[in-house]
Amino acid sequence: MIWQSFITALEMLRMHKLRAFLTMLGVIIGVMAVTIIVMVSSGFQYYLSNEFKKIGSDTIMVVYDRWGGSTEKNASIDSLKMEDADFLRNRVSSIDVVVPMVQAGGQKIVFGDQSIDNAKVNATDENYGVLNGVKLSSGRGLSAVDIATRANVAVIGPEIRERLFPTGKVLGQLISLNGIALEVIGVAERADFLGDSNAKDILMPISTAQDKWLGSKSLYLITTRPKPGIKVDRAMDDVWAAMMMRSGNKRIYRVDSNESILKVFGNVFGVAGAVLSAIAALSLLVGGIGIMNIMLVSVTERTKEIGLRKSVGAKRGAILVQFMVEAGMLSLIGGLIGMGIAFLLGQLVTAGTAAAKWPSEGGLPTQFPIAAALMSALFSALIGIVFGLYPAISASKLDPIVALRRE
């Protein structure tokens, strides 16, 4: 009986193609919207995950909370210092390398009659490249000897290399930073992160910057990471405990990690995707109402057919199943069409963002969420059955004699 109901439902769809398509339109739009939203949300989460992998998702950052909401202050502490980095290095056994850093943006770099504005200087130590995965196209990175001797050396970004040394030799040349001569010892490969890059970055020894340029022992931040086999949360707790000890239990520092920041981004995209999907799913309800409407019309049109079938022995259950199957088929086919359109739109989004190189060189990956799409299609079929239940019951209750007499 169910198989015959499927055959009958397909025949009715074939006979009324335009009406069936218009009826399915709400379901098509609903399933398509839900699937697209899940694809884009998952694509952004995948993109962020890959971006944070470049710099290490386990990186832990310590900053002085100058503008924090806490009223707790320590009069003897007004910033991070090198002593804080040494304190962490000596007291916290769960962390690996500890990297102090001072940043200064908007710097002018000069070589001969060539110059570049808005360069960003990162004054740090020999472990910066290890922690941040800096790769070199030529030369070497900063060494412990450079830090200890306050050497006037620098590693430059690829754009600085192209603009200051378009054709000539790079390594060994002297560039000028606010009157300080720095010998170029290496050139970093380009690395992008969330739309930013190291193209105009300069790495120099932190001891050189503090003693010969800035004249201050303050740090911008301290970065570190857990030792192999130790979870980020445990290492963060150990770092926080050490900094609280350092400040006399004053909450003047903030400890965070790339992993926790990534989780926040993931939660934001997840919640936003869920809310937008719920809103888009409302069109499924609209589609369900349309299906109920068209099934009521169908019952009215086929009253004589129902009366004839019941007069030759068709039971009430058979009529009920037939109309419920027809309603479910309308929704299911609409859901499958919506899935197909969403898949094609996802491919267009991937191709378009790849051509525009946004938000990265490979564009935005939009993998087709098979599980979410199937759930949407099945949900649409369920809606069709639910909204088709009332017309099906109405059809099954028709008196065969009255039905045969109706014009």
Whether 41 and 270 have beta carbons less than 8 Å apart is answered as: yes
Compute the mean pLDDT over every residue in the chain, rounded to the nearest whole number: 84
Query: In the predicted model, is pLDDT for residue 377 greater than 80?
Result: no
Q: Where are the domains of the chain?
A: 2-53+262-405, 73-250
102 pLDDT higher than 90: yes
Over the range 33-42, which residues count as b (16 or more CB within 10 Å of their CB) and which as e? bbbbbbbbbb
- 10 Å Cβ neighbour count for 314? 17
Within 8 A by CB and 6+ apart from 163, the residues are 114, 116
Which stretch of 234-238, 351-355, 357-361 has the lowest confidence by average pLDDT? 357-361
119: helix, coil or strand? strand
| pLDDT for 226 | 93
The yes-or-no verdict on residue 373 having pLDDT over 80 is no
Look at residue 20 in the predicted model and tell me its pLDDT: 83
pLDDT tens digits for range 194-253: 767 888 999 999 999 999 988 888 899 999 999 999 999 999 999 999 999 988 888 889
What's the pLDDT band for 183 if we cut at 50, 70, 90?
Answer: very high
- How far, in Å, CA of 241 to CA of 210, rounded? 28
Tell me whether residue 214 is exposed, middle or buried, using C-beta atoms within 10 angstroms of its C-beta: 0 to 12, 13 to 18, 19 or more: middle
How does pLDDT run across 333-348, given as a tens digit for each residue? 888 888 889 889 988 9
High-pLDDT (> 70) share of the chain, %? 94
Which structure tokens are listed for 271?
């919640």
Amino acid letter, 109: I
Contacts of 260 (CB under 8 A, 6+ apart): 232, 236
> What is the mean predicted confidence (pLDDT) over 357-365?
78
Q: Is the pLDDT of residue 8 over 80?
A: no
Residue 201 has a pLDDT of 93
- Can you tell me the mean pLDDT for 53-82? 75
- Helix axis angle for 370-396 and 17-55, nearest 10°, is 150
Is residue 407 over pLDDT 60? no
Residue 315 has pLDDT above 90, yes or no: no
pLDDT of 359 > 80? The answer is: no
Q: Which residues contact 339 (CB under 8 A, 6 or more apart)?
A: 31, 32, 35, 373, 374, 376, 377
pLDDT at 406: 63
Dig out the tokens for 305 from the structure. 């057919």
Confidence band of 317 (pLDDT split at 50, 70, 90): confident
| pLDDT at residue number 91 | 92
From CA 403, how far away is CA 225, in angstroms rounded?
A: 79
Residue 171 has pLDDT above 90, yes or no: yes
- Provide the 3-class DSSP secondary structure of residue 180: strand
Which stretch, 29-38, 130-139, 383-392, has highest mean pLDDT?
130-139
User: pTM to 2 decimals?
Assistant: 0.69
Structural tokens at position 209: 């910057």
Q: Which of 65-74, 127-136, 283-292 has the lowest mean pLDDT?
A: 65-74
